[in-house]
Amino acid sequence: MRVAQSLCPLAALAALVLSLSPVRAAVSQVAPAKPVASQPAPAAANRVTYVPVKGVDYEFSAPDQVASGIVVFNLTNAGADLHALALLELPANHTLREFLAMYHSKGIIPPWMPTLGQTGPIAANAETFLTVRMKPGRYILACLIPARDGRAHTEKGMVKLITVK
């Protein structure tokens, strides 16, 4: 009995839909859509750029310039030590030297410097990815891991300034 009662609202709905036959006929007479000649190119903000970054003991090898939009950084560790990739935005009124001075003297990223993302550390012969949406400006790639001797990888030269256009 319960099954029959629960089907009653469904039967009423079906009857209502069938009773709207003039609407159904009008819908079937709609002209087919015209084909679109061509789709516009995706906006620069939606373009995806692949950027290979090679990390060795103790430097980054990467392009100096990157296109704005979605950027996929692919870090490969070709060194013996652990490495990681931090992506920091360098404001126009500051310099790479100012970043390095604060990071090496106080051990902190300057409060005026936005961090866009960071990978975890990877071992030798491993790879990792970092995907971010980037606007035009200057950015720093940095390995913020300390070396076995206690010095920061950035202090040993594992930092790179890139420009996004």
CATH number for the region 44-164 comes to 2.60.40.420
Q: Are 109 and 87 a contacting pair, CB within 8 Å?
A: no
Burial class (CB in 10 A: 0-12, 13-18, 19+), 148: exposed
Share of the chain above pLDDT 70, in %: 73
Q: Are 48 and 67 a contacting pair, CB within 8 Å?
A: no
First to last CA, the chain: 70
d(CA 122, CA 4): 63
What pLDDT score was predicted for residue 27? 39
Which is more confident, 145 or 10? 145
What is the side-by-side strand order in the sheet with 65-66?
Answer: 65-66, 159-164, 137-142, 86-90, 115-118
Split at pLDDT 50, 70, 90, the class of 148 is: confident
pLDDT of 20-45, one tens digit each? 444 443 434 444 455 555 555 556 55
Residues 76-104: what's their mean pLDDT? Answer: 96
CA atoms within 13 A on the CB side of 68: 9
Residues 119-129: what's their mean pLDDT? Answer: 97
CA 164 to chain centroid: 14
Q: Using the 8-state DSSP alphabet, how is residue 99 labeled?
A: H
Split at pLDDT 50, 70, 90, the class of 103 is: very high
Domain locations in the chain as residue ranges: 44-164
What pLDDT score was predicted for residue 12? 46
Split at pLDDT 50, 70, 90, the class of 47 is: confident
